[in-house]
Amino acid sequence: MGFKTVLVHLGLDAEAPRRLAAAVAFARQQDALLRGAFIVLPMHVPGVPLGASLSDAREIAAPMATEKRAAFEETCRREGVRCDWVFDLGDMAEQLAIHGRCADAIIISQGASKGPLQDYHASLTEFLPFAASAPVIVLPRGKDSIIDPSRIAIAWKSSKEAAAAVRDALPLLKEAGKVTVVTVREPGSQEIQGQDLSAFLAEHGVAVDVRTLTARETGTGDAILAEAASVQAGLIVMGVYGHSRLRLRILGGVSRYILANSPVPLLVTH
């Protein structure tokens, strides 16, 4: 099994139990060490006064972190998963990126819906792939999920982002029972995409089925998700297009749509 160290984001949000369940199952499948990263903003810790120093906030948060750690370690022990623990206060994306430098993947959840005043600020989902050196596995929000790499769909475009995502996913692609490459071409184009990728993956012992869609003015993201659903993919591999300028959200439209709407886990890389 190719992913040997997996970092899962644990916090105070409602999605944390779902993330933990999915991460434990994935780590057990991969025979990986699961590192629980309990990272919270000081202002979100009950009892931390406004303006408290980081050291004071950490002292106040320590009993809560100890309780979370005990529950995490008990879950891992019960499921037969090796585990490790990280506790930090601060910005979640920055801390996950730092602690994820020595991990094969970082597991997070889809970002919550934003209001009009938040629209220009990147969520964790949108920002972390730009900051992290490891691939990010994004779980659907509001539902129990299983990271199932036995059937993988690759959202392919001939770009360095998509190529990086495929390389990051190679350990899983080699283990998959079925890999489908989903490509999109412009109306009227005769270009056949995916042949070079198919040949590259064949050298790694990965046989693929290439599906080519024709782009429409709208709905490209929906078309990719529909194709992934038709082959019953349990994981979608995708390069994230765009760039991050501080906290501004500057993503390609298809990347943003799939990140927000995929009903199955995504493995994404910038």
250-268 pLDDT tens trace: 445 788 889 989 999 999 9
Same domain as 159, residue 219: yes
**What's the rounded mean pLDDT across residues 63-86?**
96
Is the pLDDT higher at 65 or at 127?
Answer: 65
207-229 pLDDT tens trace: 999 998 876 645 788 889 999 99
Task: Please report whether residue 144 resides in a domain.
Answer: no
Same domain as 130, residue 10: yes
Task: Please report whether residue 222 resides in a domain.
Answer: yes
d(CA 26, CA 150): 12
- The reported pLDDT for the residue numbered 164 is 94
Task: Please report whether residue 146 resides in a domain.
Answer: no
Report whether pLDDT(96) > 50. yes
Q: Of 114, 139, 164, which residue constitutes the final position of a domain?
A: 139
Residue 37's nearest CA partner among 74, 62, 68 is 68
Range with the largest mean pLDDT of 127-131, 207-211, 244-248: 207-211
Task: Please report whether residue 227 resides in a domain.
Answer: yes
Contact criterion met (CB below 8 Å) for 34 and 82: yes
169-186 pLDDT tens trace: 999 999 999 999 998 876
Task: Please report whether residue 145 resides in a domain.
Answer: no
- The reported pLDDT for the residue numbered 221 is 87
CATH number, domain with residue 11: 3.40.50.620
Same domain as 167, residue 117: no
Range of the domain at 163: 151-269
Q: Of 98, 114, 139, which residue constitutes the final position of a domain?
A: 139
C-beta neighbour count of 1 within 10 angstroms: 14
Q: Of 119, 139, 159, which residue constitutes the final position of a domain?
A: 139
Same domain as 160, residue 86: no
Tell me, yes or no, if the pTM score tops 0.95: no
**What's the rounded mean pLDDT across residues 142-153?**
95
Same domain as 101, residue 134: yes
d(CA 169, CA 165): 6
User: Which residue has 């994981």 as its token pair?
Assistant: 235
Lowest mean pLDDT of 22-26, 76-80, 146-150, 242-246, name the range. Answer: 242-246
d(CA 41, CA 237): 30
Same domain as 83, residue 178: no
Q: Please, which pLDDT band fits residue 71 given cuts at 50, 70 and 90?
A: very high
Task: Please report whether residue 258 resides in a domain.
Answer: yes
Query: Which segments within the chain are labelled E, that is strand?
Result: 5-10, 33-40, 83-89, 105-109, 136-139, 151-156, 178-185, 208-214, 235-239, 242-245, 248-251, 266-269
Number of domains in the chain: 2
Q: What is the mean pLDDT of the chain?
A: 86
- The reported pLDDT for the residue numbered 170 is 97
Same domain as 100, residue 214: no
Q: Please, which pLDDT band fits residue 116 given cuts at 50, 70 and 90?
A: very low
C-alpha to C-alpha distances, 101 to 6, 25, 153, nearest whole angstrom: 11, 22, 26
Contact criterion met (CB below 8 Å) for 111 and 126: yes
8-41 pLDDT tens trace: 999 888 999 999 999 999 999 999 999 999 998 8
Same domain as 173, residue 88: no
Same domain as 191, residue 99: no
- The reported pLDDT for the residue numbered 256 is 84
Same domain as 12, residue 132: yes
Residue 269's nearest CA partner among 247, 224, 236 is 236
Query: Which segments within 11-139 are labelled E, that is strand?
Result: 33-40, 83-89, 105-109, 136-139
Q: Please, which pLDDT band fits residue 61 given cuts at 50, 70 and 90?
A: confident
- The reported pLDDT for the residue numbered 261 is 92
Task: Please report whether residue 208 resides in a domain.
Answer: yes
